[in-house]
Amino acid sequence: MKNRIFGIETEYGLIFIPHGKVYLPMEKILGYVFEGLIPNSWPSNAFLCNGARFYQDTGCHPEYATPECDQVFDVVVHDKAGERLLEKSLPIAQKKLKEEGLAGNIFIYKNNTDSMGNTYGCHENYLMRRDIDFWKVTEQLIPFFVTRQIYTGSGKVLNISGRSHFFISQRAQHIHEKTSSSTTSSRSIINTRDEPHADAEKYRRLHIIIGDSNMSEYATYLKVGATALILSMIESGFRVPGIELEDPVKAMREISRDPTLKKKIRLEKGKELTAIQVQRLYLERVKKYLASEEEDPISSDILERWEYVLDELEDDPMRLDREIDWVTKKGLIDSYMEKEGCGLDDPRVGMIDLQYHDISRDRGLYYLLCKEGLTERIATESDVIKALEFPPQTTRAKVRGDFVRFAKEKNRSYTVDWTYLKLNGYWEETILCMDPFSSENVRVKELIAAAGNQK
């Protein structure tokens, strides 16, 4: 697989259920969560020792942005580490709540919608070449993003016109345009914000806001991996001809509403295909592209899993209950409705829908399935625990993580962003880090070495 930087930004849902009549504003609850993770840092955002960023996003959501990764596996591991970090903050947040004489429970969910119909995102980032025509790239990618929800969707029970339906994707109903620079008022399939956090003459950032947050590591691996392969294919001059959709937003919603995956969507030239058929067109084209490249095990593994999932979806989607979030959730809901003799509009079904995304491994339904060995994992728990403390060792995130750890150990005030590191106060210095592929910085090494010699 071609060298590329990936990252995922996840906005989490936050709920406080009081024991009594005292209800706290969500800003206060979020403060407790921040205090549990980054003592004395509220309300500022913070970069962590693992190179990631944790901060408050619009709508009072805690947001975790993974460090820069150049391996799909690392994206999966560091995305999961974000869940663990927030889970670790909960006991401390609950303790702070109690110390102030308040009673209640705090819940954090890795989902994309709340009970009021609001949505919050899971944004993917891919560094891409600046010299490639961005608009031609988006035209090639939009049909892929519209249809990939069949294996990346997290599933959602929604009430439409007085009736409850099961949808494949949580985000599909909240996307209104093909492309846009906004992430809130006019959400789009592809966001056009051009913030590469790197040399702007060489790179730009492909910012994708259509995706669901995934509990399944398998779904995250396939989501990022297949996208990266297609982007590399396009950058190498390969195209999927005649793939443009007549109405991408309409197609996306129609696919989401059909868990049977039989719905056909209309292409610009009048042909109609199912989402699986569109995905197969991309799959076959990627196969031809990879045949012209040097073989590598990661690309082969992604390709094999992608084809396996499409085959299973076409034959019987419910066989993917170990791998794909919407299938797993639908299986839980169908089993419960059959047992209890209820329908989708039953409030208890709504709770199953929500509890699937609880990041607490003692409460969340996804994690209860994990404990029973009923989910397919990509990483081990030891991989995730390591990612709580250490960044990927092959990207700029290593430099940032080393710097943050050094500054904390020396009790030095510091300022950090994606592209620079700064020690504040006496001997103040700003170190630029514009190359996201570089895991070393001479000045940072000198600072750490000098500090070591002073011991």
Q: What is the pLDDT of residues 228-281, one digit of tens each?
A: 999 999 999 999 999 999 999 999 999 999 999 999 999 998 999 999 999 999
Confidence category of residue 405, pLDDT binned at 50, 70, 90: very high
Region 355-383: mean pLDDT is: 97
Region 130-152: mean pLDDT is: 95
- Between 395 and 93, residue with greater pLDDT: 395
Region 316-338: mean pLDDT is: 98
Q: What is the DSSP string of 324-374?
A: -HHHHHHHHHHHHHHHHT--TTSHHHHHHHHHTTB--TTT-HHHHHHHTT-
Maximum Cα interatomic distance, the chain, rounded to a whole number of Å: 73
Tokens of 193: 């914000």
CA distance 128 to 400: 22
Q: Could you give the residue ranges of the DSSP H alpha helices within 162-235?
A: 217-235
For the chain, the structural domain boundaries read: 393-453
Reduce the DSSP state of residue 446 to 3 states and report it. helix
Cβ neighbors of 394 (< 8 A, separation 6 or more) are 70, 71, 437, 439
DSSP state letter for 454: T
CB 404 within 8 A of CB 390: no
- Between 40 and 125, residue with greater pLDDT: 125
CA distance 115 to 256: 19
Instruction: Kindly tell me the burial class for residue 162, based on how many C-beta atoms sit within 10 Å of its own C-beta (0-12, 13-18, 19 or more).
Output: exposed
For the chain, the 3-state helix, strand and coil shares in percent, each to the nearest 5, are 45, 20, 40
- Strand ranges of the sheet holding 203-208, from the earlier edge strand across to the other edge: 46-47, 53-57, 61-65, 6-11, 122-129, 203-208, 188-191, 177-180
Place of tokens 């590191």: 421
Least reliable range by pLDDT among 36-45, 89-98, 256-265, 280-289:
36-45
CA distance 156 to 354: 9
**56-72 burial, b for 16+ CB within 10 Å, e for fewer?**
bbeeebbbbbbbbbbbb
Nearest CA to 125 out of 257, 200, 231 is that of 231
Region 371-393: mean pLDDT is: 97
What pLDDT sits at residue 309?
A: 98
Q: What are phi and psi for residue 16, nearest 5 degrees?
A: -120, 125
CB 399 within 8 A of CB 440: yes
Catalytic residues: 57
CB 151 within 8 A of CB 222: yes
What pLDDT sits at residue 266?
A: 97
Region 117-133: mean pLDDT is: 93
How long, in residues, is the chain?
A: 455
CA 453 to chain centre: 41
- pLDDT for 289 beyond 50: yes
